[in-house]
């Protein structure tokens, strides 16, 4: 159980442990390294949620890469708002580059669909998508996913980059969050 002082937020036992996540990250990195052998890529993280997955994953990918980030948000509390906001765009030009887009979770698919379209308009040589978590049952807009860590049921999950009101991102594991956990 994790208690964050001040608000007495309580999170239960891990849904995915740190060890499970790290094993999955290795597996994904190996597949990506094989698929991109001989190529130079640009890895793009969608912030804030992807920061931890992104940094663990890129450390293990064995092809030359540049990195960049796009800062976007769509959620309001535990509901997906359906509205997208880009807070900070890429700094790099992706024209003619092999882009690997890295996301922590695909839920409704609105965020990914929006960013995917935005980046495709910039004429990359290729664009593949890697997500740690896929909540397929919640999908409103479908986008093909090239690398998926875990398919998960419709739980609101926090930790390993994922938040509730910007809290819990620093947990090294993923846990299910319930609003009644806030007293």
Per-residue contact flags (x/-) with ligand PRP for residues 65 to 104, judged by CB under 6 A: --------xxx----x----------------------xx
- Tell which one of 11, 45, 111, 171 touches ligand PRP (CB under 6 A): 111
Using a 10 angstrom Cβ sphere, with 0-12 exposed, 13-18 middle and 19 or more buried, the burial of residue 16 is buried
- Whether the CB-CB separation of 92 and 103 falls below 8 Å is answered with no
Segment contacting ligand PRP by CB under 6 A, of 6-14, 28-36, 47-55, 119-127: 47-55
Least distance CB 103 / ligand PRP (angstroms) = 6
Query: What span, in angstroms and rounded, lies between the C-alpha atoms of 97 and 48?
Result: 23
Which DSSP symbol is given to 23? H
Query: What span, in angstroms and rounded, lies between the C-alpha atoms of 15 and 17?
Result: 6
Does position 159 interact with ligand PRP (CB under 6 A)? The reply is: no
Nearer of residues 39 and 117 to ligand PRP, judged by Cβ: 117
Nearer of residues 36 and 114 to ligand PRP, judged by Cβ: 114
- Whether the CB-CB separation of 90 and 46 falls below 8 Å is answered with no
Does position 148 interact with ligand PRP (CB under 6 A)? The reply is: no
State how far Cα 11 lies from the chain centre: 20
Closest CA to 75 of 182, 169, 149: 169
Least distance CB 119 / ligand PRP (angstroms) = 14
> CB-based contacts of 36: which residues, under 8 Å, 6+ apart?
61, 63, 98, 100
**Which residues have a catalytic role annotated?**
107
Which DSSP symbol is given to 154? S
- Tell which one of 25, 42, 58, 110 touches ligand PRP (CB under 6 A): 110
- Tell which one of 48, 97, 98, 128 touches ligand PRP (CB under 6 A): 48
Interface residues toward ligand PRP, by CB under 6 A: 46-49, 73-75, 80, 103-112, 163
């Amino acid at each position: 159980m994790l208690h964050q002082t001040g608000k007495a937020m309580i999170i239960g036992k891990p849904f995915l442990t740190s060890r499970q996540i790290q094993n999955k990250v290795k597996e994904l990195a190996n597949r990506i390294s094989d698929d991109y052998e001989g190529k130079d890529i640009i890895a793009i993280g969608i912030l804030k949620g992807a920061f931890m997955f992104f940094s663990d994953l890129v450390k293990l990918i064995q092809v030359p890469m540049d990195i960049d980030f796009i800062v976007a948000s769509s959620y309001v509390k535990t509901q997906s708002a359906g509205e997208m906001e880009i807070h900070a765009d890429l700094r790099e030009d992706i024209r003619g580059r092999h882009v690997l887009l890295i996301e922590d979770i695909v839920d409704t698919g609105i965020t990914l669909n929006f960013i995917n379209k935005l980046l495709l308009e910039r004429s990359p040589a290729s664009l593949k998508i890697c997500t740690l978590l896929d909540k397929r049952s919640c999908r409103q807009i479908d986008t093909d996913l090239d690398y998926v860590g875990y398919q998960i049921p419709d739980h609101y999950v926090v930790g390993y980059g994922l938040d509730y009101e910007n809290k819990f991102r620093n947990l090294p594991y993923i846990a299910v969050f319930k609003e009644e956990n806030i007293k």
